[in-house]
Each structure stands twice: as C-alpha cells, then as structure tokens.
C-alpha cells in the first residue's frame, strides 16, 4: 500500500499570502492580465508545494546487522610459486579470492598474508574495494616457509565477532598441525580450507624440491565444523565457500532498524512547472517566479534568523535559545549543536534524545552528535553503542568509523584486564618469531 505524505507540511502556510495577493490583484487587473495573474499564482503555489517535499511512501527498507567476521589467510610462501595450478598457485589464489570477496559483499572480511611470519593487511571493517584493489595491483613477494600456527594466532587475535571464520588459502606446507588444531578447538574458530595445489605437486622454482598439496589440513576444517574445498576451473569452489559462509553469517542476523522508503514527487512537479512556463513562452514570468522562489526560501527561515545570527557571531548559548523556540526537528537539532559549541553537552543530550524524525540524513546527524556528546561527557559505553549501530548502516562514513574506533578503544582500556586465549599454552619454548608476531598484532589490533 502506498501513502502520500508531505515531509515538511509547514511550508504550505506560504500559500495563504500568495492567494491573498492574487485576490487583491485580481480585482484590479482586467482581461489578459487576469489570465497571466492566474498562471503566475498556480506556478507559485506549485513551487511552495515542492518546498513541502511531497513523497509517496512505498514501504520500509529493513537494515540488518550480522555479527560474523571472516579473515582470509593467503599463503605467500615459496611453495606458492609452483605452477601445477596455472599460471602459479599464488596467482590462481589471488584471482579466486577477488571473486570470493565480490560474492560476499554483505559480509565483514579482512585479509592476512603469511609465510614464516604473518601480517594483517586489512581488518574486517575495512572497505572491500580496497582489498580487491590491493590484490589486483600489489606486487607480493613469495618467500619463506609456511607458519600456520603464527597465522592462526594472529587471525584469532583480530577477530571479535560472534561467529569467527577463517578461510585458509594455502597449499599446506609440512608443519605439524597438532598445535593449530588445539588452538582452533580452544578459540572455537570455524575454518574453511581452500587447498591450492595438486596431490601430484610440482617443483619449487629455484630449488630441487617438490611441493604437494597437504591434505592433512582438512583435519583442521573437519574438527572446527568447517569446510574443505579444492580449487576448480568452473567456479563451483567459490560458490560453495560463499554459500557456506553466508549460511553461518545468517545465523547471527538481527534486524537493526526499518527506514521508510519514499518515491520523490518533486521532480515531476518541477517538470510540470517548466512545461507550463515554456508553453506560455513567458521568459519574463519565469524570471519573476525564480525571484519569488528565492524569496520564499529566504522567508522560510524567518523564525530562525536570530539563531543563525548569534551562531555566526559566536554566541552559541543565545543561538540555541533562539533555535529552540521553533519545534520542528531541524531547529531542535540546530539548538542542540549550538549547545555543543557552547560546551553544554548535558543540555544537548536531552534535546537530541527527544528529536523524532523520519528524515534519514537528519536522523544520522542526531545519532552521531548524541554519541559525540556522550563521549565528551565521559559516557564512552553509551557513545560506543550508538556508533556501533551507525557503522552497520553507514559503513562507508569515515568520520563515524573513526569516532567508533576511538570510543571502542577507550571502553576496552577501561575494562578489567583479562587474559585472552589467542594461543594454546605449549610446554615447549615458543619460537622467537612467534612472540614478535604477537606483539605486532597487539599494536595493530584496535579491539
């Protein structure tokens, strides 16, 4: 069912003075001039109608939140240069990952490169376009051996979702995987092993050694309740992985909010006005209507002129008082922002919490400034919760994302220190390179 609605009906009051002027002039004018006066009045009324922002509500757009995170672990050790998969294992893996990311547009995906040490290149909250461009354009050196334990430990430290999925893209190497299996069990990771290579294998360039696909890594995915997939030419491998991940991610799916979906009527009215002007060959009338339109726009802010004056001159408290005399959401928001500028965040919070609007852009600004006020007043947890919802809706907004990361960092710092299980305790001495990797992950991980 469709519903007609005016988003700013207060502008319709401007029709009254236009009609009064028409009636006055209609008693004075005669003949052709009366016709011109009628045309002018109709156009003026239609212009005012467009200011009232007419729309047809066609339903609601539902926005969902998913609490699943995926980290792709891409092996770039020397064995990935073997060409038993053309043109090489690594180049084939690079192209396949790009296809996988494009199929998982609604998911949160990160990228980790590893050989004998690991490095997080993109976190799950980063833009997917940046990951794709990196994989397409970067020159990645193939070097070192395959250190799976370090790669899994680093990924585990970075993932924070309810469901944490690791997509291991590798030929496997010859490492003892018992410690990796223990880590996966302890951390409840879900592993997708995407085997890149053949059982027959091939010669490692520059070395007198043959590298074969390590099928033992399928045990890791099996124990985690994950999936093992071999590379194919027809694309069924990527479809299988994508469907598996989506199925798991959908189990964490929750409705975040519903946003009204509108069809704008203003463009149709504008075309009608333009057609009327052209049909009457009235360039002078067009200029007159344009001037009247500009005047109407100016007068529509008459009740807020003092507020803008005080705001521009830096008297923010008085500006807030003037803005708040008007009860529409925009004026209330301007008043709240003025209080923020005046350093009176407590007053601003009370105003922002009571603003009700279906204007999506205004609602976004209200929520962002409310979170900002909470942070300024030391209520970091409240600010972080609001910003977390906003990042789900406006994932491309860098300003929201930066403020969320800051609030999240402060909240985490204020928590009691807890020992997070990222690596299973092993009696043997850990390699020095592993300890170094953990320090680096701590520096990189904003969570």
- pLDDT tens across 32-49, in order? 677 777 878 888 888 888
pLDDT of residue 109: 95
Buried b (16+ CB within 10 A) or exposed e, 400-411: bbebbbbbbeee
**Residue 225, CA distances (Å) to 173, 185, 298, 309, 429 in order:** 22, 10, 64, 64, 30
Per the document, the length of the chain is 447
The answer to whether 220 and 181 have CB atoms below 8 angstroms apart is yes
Q: What is the mean pLDDT of residues 203-213?
A: 90
Q: Rounded CA gap, 367 and 373, in Å?
A: 10
Output the pLDDT for position 265: 80
Q: Tell me which H or E stretch contains 222.
A: helix 218-223
In contact, 194 and 168? CB cutoff 8 Å:
yes
Instruction: Name, in order, each residue with C-beta under 8 angstroms of 51's C-beta and a sequence gap of 6 or more.
Output: 8, 11, 14, 296, 297, 300
Q: Give pTM, 2 decimals.
A: 0.54
Average pLDDT, the chain: 82
More confident of the two residues 145 and 419: 145
Q: In what order do the strands lie in the sheet with 254-264?
A: 3-6, 54-65, 254-264
**272-304: pLDDT as tens digits:** 777 766 666 544 555 555 554 544 444 333 445
Query: Where is pLDDT greater, at 425 or 3?
Result: 3
Alpha helices by DSSP H, listed for 251-328, are 266-279, 283-299, 305-312, 316-323
């Amino acid at each position: 069912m469709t519903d007609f609605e005016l988003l700013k009906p207060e502008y319709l009051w401007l029709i009254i003075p236009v009609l009064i002027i028409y009636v006055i002039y209609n008693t004075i004018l005669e003949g052709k001039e009366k016709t011109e006066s009628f045309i002018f009045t109709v156009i003026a009324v239609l212009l005012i109608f467009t200011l009232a922002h007419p729309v047809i509500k066609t339903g609601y757009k539902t926005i969902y939140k998913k609490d699943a995170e995926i980290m792709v672990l891409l092996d770039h050790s020397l064995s990935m240069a073997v060409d038993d998969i053309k043109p090489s294992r690594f180049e084939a893996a690079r192209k396949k990952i790009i296809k996988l990311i494009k199929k998982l547009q609604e998911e949160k995906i990160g990228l980790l490169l590893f050989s004998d040490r690991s490095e997080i290149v993109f976190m799950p909250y980063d833009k997917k376009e940046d990951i794709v461009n990196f994989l397409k354009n970067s020159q990645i050196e193939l070097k070192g051996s395959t250190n799976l334990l370090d790669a899994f430990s680093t990924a585990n430290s970075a993932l924070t979702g309810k469901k944490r999925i690791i997509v291991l893209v590798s030929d496997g190497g010859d490492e003892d995987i018992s410690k990796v299996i223990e880590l996966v069990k302890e951390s409840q990771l879900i592993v997708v092993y995407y085997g890149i290579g053949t059982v027959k294998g091939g010669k490692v360039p520059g070395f007198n050694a043959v590298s074969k696909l390590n099928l033992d890594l399928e045990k890791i995915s099996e124990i985690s309740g994950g999936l093992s997939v071999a590379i194919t030419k027809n694309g069924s491998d990527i479809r299988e992985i994508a469907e598996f991940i989506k199925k798991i991610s959908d189990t964490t799916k929750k409705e975040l909010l519903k946003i009204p979906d509108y069809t704008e009527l203003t463009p149709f009215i504008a075309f009608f006005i333009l057609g009327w002007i052209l049909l009457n060959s009235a360039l002078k009338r067009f200029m007159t209507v344009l001037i009247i339109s500009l005047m109407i726009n100016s007068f529509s802010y008459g009740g807020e002129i003092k507020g803008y004056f005080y705001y521009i001159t830096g008297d923010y408290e008085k500006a807030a008082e003037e803005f708040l005399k008007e009860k529409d959401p925009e004026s209330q928001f301007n008043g709240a922002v003025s209080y923020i500028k005046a350093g009176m965040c407590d007053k601003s919070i009370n105003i922002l919490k009571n603003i009700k609007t279906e204007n999506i852009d205004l609602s976004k600004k209200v929520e962002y400034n409310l979170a900002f006020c909470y942070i300024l007043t030391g209520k970091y947890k409240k600010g972080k919760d609001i910003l977390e919802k906003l990042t789900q809706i406006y994932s491309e907004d860098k300003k929201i994302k930066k403020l969320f990361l800051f609030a999240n960092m402060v909240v985490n710092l204020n928590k009691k220190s807890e020992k997070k299980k990222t690596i299973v305790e092993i009696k043997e001495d850990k390699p020095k390179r592993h300890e170094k990797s953990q320090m680096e992950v701590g520096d990189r991980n904003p969570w």
